[in-house]
């Protein structure tokens, strides 16, 4: 029996039941990660329906208040509230369906209302939610969008009808999902503070509807999130221009410096300019990186729409990328300029520090040379003092010898004091000189 025959003979009936193969320990977050990958990010709805979508920018600490408000709304409609650790919640409240999702820096509230309508956006879904509850939501409004999905049984609207639905009168649109639906918008904020998107179902399957709506909502959300650095970018452009000009001036002044005090003053100015540049970079780098990630998601979601042109209309991709890419290009340019300015400041500071170090080394060398000359002078003075000390010591020793000879003569010994003192002079001077030199040699060896 070969290996293939042996494997084929094993069937599910004769294989042992194993609950945990090999008893391998499970990664602690495996179930959570698997659930996250398989979580349904869209609602399963059937046309016709309308929805209203809100994106509120809020800090992470507001999540408990958001859950509390969701629980209050559930209590008002006798709906089971979300768990205390859930970051998303969806429930049917009768007149409307609400979906809440908490993200890193924002929260989304999507209100669905399944109903037949003649005029889209006339009675938006959000008008059926208690207004006092909406007013209590924490955060700042970033995105507000109405989406209306018309049933395939209704004839397509003409361009004139579409223009009447959008305040600007300018309509953009395309066929999406391989021609299964048509989407129109004008990317404008209307008098009710909401944008508008109209979808006409032509051949959408139930799951396609949810995915299409979710992609459109994500495009609306992430394109605004990608634009967040733009106001800050425009504010710091003049600051960068001034910093660039100041750096050029300081670099030019570096050539004409004549003293170490001027070099240290210039280094202090460069350090202050570098600190200001790093402050701007720290304030914007996180926002720039997040914006880049959001922009990539927008491009991905637009590609997933699989657009086809409607004759005479600009496609969503053309409109979005054209407007958004210009803003993102400005942000990228400023981000690159910040990084370049920071590198130039680092190089200029390093060069100036090297110059200051060389100047200080030259000063230290001159100081050491001066100290060496001073030590030589002191040595010569010391040698002179040593010579004088030999004479002084010899003088005192000869005086002592003279007193001794006088005392000896007073004891009635016939000696010539002056003659003996004179003979003692060379002996004493030589002896003192030898003793002083020996003592100096012993000290120099220590």
Tens of pLDDT, residue by residue over 194-223, are 999 999 999 888 888 989 999 999 999 999
397 vs 121 pLDDT, higher one: 121
Q: DSSP character for 126? A: G
Residue 5 binned pLDDT confidence (cut-offs 50, 70, 90): very low
pLDDT given at position 253? 72
Q: How far apart are CA 60 and CA 69, in angstroms?
A: 15
CA contacts within 13 A on the Cβ side of 120: 30
Average pLDDT for residues 68-82, to the nearest whole number?
93
In the chain, the percentage of residues whose pLDDT exceeds 70 is 90
Exposed, middle or buried by CB within 10 Å (0-12, 13-18, 19+), for 222?
buried
Average pLDDT for residues 383-391, to the nearest whole number?
73
225 and 106 in contact (C-beta within 8 Å)?
Answer: yes
Q: How far apart are CA 278 and CA 24, in angstroms?
A: 49
Beta-sheet pairing, 97-102 with 106-114:
antiparallel
140 and 148 in contact (C-beta within 8 Å)?
Answer: no
Residue that is written with structure tokens 């003049």 in the block: 238
Q: Is 78 helix (H, G, I), strand (E, B) or coil?
A: coil
pLDDT given at position 255? 63
Residue that is written with structure tokens 């320990």 in the block: 25
Q: How far apart are CA 251 and CA 248, in angstroms?
A: 5
Q: How far apart are CA 188 and CA 323, in angstroms?
A: 13
| Digit-coded pLDDT (tens) for 298-350 | 999 999 999 999 988 889 888 888 888 888 888 888 888 888 888 888 877 77
181's CB contacts (< 8 A; 6+ apart) are 175, 199, 200, 201, 202, 203, 204, 208, 212
Angle ∠(400,401,403) on CA atoms, nearest 5: 65
Q: How many residues does the chain have?
A: 446
Residue 42 binned pLDDT confidence (cut-offs 50, 70, 90): low
Helices (H), 314-416: 316-410
pLDDT given at position 20? 54
Q: Is the pLDDT of residue 443 over 90?
A: no
Beta-sheet pairing, 181-185 with 172-176:
antiparallel
Q: DSSP character for 314? A: B
Q: Which of 354, 341, 343 is nearest to 257 (CA)?
A: 354
Q: What is the pTM of this model?
A: 0.72
Q: How far apart are CA 220 and CA 216, in angstroms?
A: 6
Q: Which two tokens stand for residue 150?
A: 């018309």
| Digit-coded pLDDT (tens) for 344-382 | 888 777 776 776 777 777 778 878 888 888 877 777 777
Residue 8 binned pLDDT confidence (cut-offs 50, 70, 90): very low
Query: How would DSSP label each residue in 165-228?
Result: HSTTS--EEEEETTTTEEEEE-----TTS-EEEEEEESS--HHHHHHHHHHHHHHHHHHHHHTT
Q: Which two tokens stand for residue 35?
A: 């659930």
Average pLDDT for residues 139-161, to the nearest whole number?
92
3 vs 76 pLDDT, higher one: 76
Residue 52 Ramachandran class (φ > 0 left, ψ -120 to 50 alpha, else beta): beta
pLDDT given at position 6? 39
Flag the least confident range among 4-18, 106-120, 226-240, 402-416.
4-18
């Amino acid at each position: 029996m070969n290996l293939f025959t042996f494997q084929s003979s094993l069937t599910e009936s004769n294989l042992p039941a194993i609950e945990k193969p090999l008893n391998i320990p499970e990664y602690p977050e495996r179930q959570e990660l698997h659930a996250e990958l398989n979580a349904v990010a869209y609602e399963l709805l059937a046309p016709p329906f309308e929805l209203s979508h809100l994106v509120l920018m809020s800090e992470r600490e507001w999540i408990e208040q958001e859950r509390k408000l969701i629980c209050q709304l559930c209590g008002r409609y006798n709906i089971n509230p979300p768990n205390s650790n859930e970051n998303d919640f969806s429930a049917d409240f009768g007149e409307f369906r609400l979906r809440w999702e908490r993200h890193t820096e924002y929260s989304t509230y999507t209100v669905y209302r399944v109903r037949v309508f003649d005029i889209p956006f006339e009675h938006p879904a959000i008008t059926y939610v208690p207004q006092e509850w909406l007013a209590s939501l924490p955060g700042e409004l970033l995105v507000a969008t109405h989406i209306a999905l018309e049933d395939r049984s209704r004839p397509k609207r003409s361009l004139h009808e579409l223009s009447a639905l959008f305040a600007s009168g300018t309509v953009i649109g395309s066929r999406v999902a391989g021609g299964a639906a048509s989407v129109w918008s004008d990317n404008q904020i209307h008098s009710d503070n909401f944008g508008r998107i109209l979808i006409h179902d032509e051949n959408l399957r139930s799951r396609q509807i949810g995915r299409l709506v979710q992609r459109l909502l994500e495009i609306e959300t992430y394109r605004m999130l990608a634009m967040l650095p733009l106001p800050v970018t425009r504010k710091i452009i003049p600051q960068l221009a001034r910093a660039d000009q100041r750096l050029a001036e300081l670099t030019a002044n570096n050539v004409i410096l004549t003293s170490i005090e001027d070099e240290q003053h210039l280094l202090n100015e460069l350090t202050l300019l570098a600190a200001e540049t790093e402050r701007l970079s720290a304030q914007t780098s996180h926002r720039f990186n997040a914006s880049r990630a959001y922009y990539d998601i927008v491009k991905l979601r637009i590609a997933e729409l699989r657009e086809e042109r409607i004759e005479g209309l600009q496609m969503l991709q053309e409109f979005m990328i054209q407007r958004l890419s210009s803003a993102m290009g400005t942000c990228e340019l400023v981000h690159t300029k910040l990084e370049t300015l920071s590198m130039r400041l680092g190089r200029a500071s390093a060069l100036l520090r090297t110059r200051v170090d060389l100047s200080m080394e030259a000063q230290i060398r001159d100081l050491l040379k001066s100290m060496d000359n001073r030590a030589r002078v002191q040595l010569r003075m010391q040698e002179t003092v040593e010579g004088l000390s030999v004479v002084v010591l010899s003088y005192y020793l000869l005086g002592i010898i003279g007193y001794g000879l006088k005392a000896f003569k007073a004891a009635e010994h016939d000696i010539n004091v002056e003659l003996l003192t004179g003979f003692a002079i060379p002996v004493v001077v030589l002896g003192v000189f030898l003793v002083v030199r020996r003592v100096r040699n012993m000290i120099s060896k220590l």
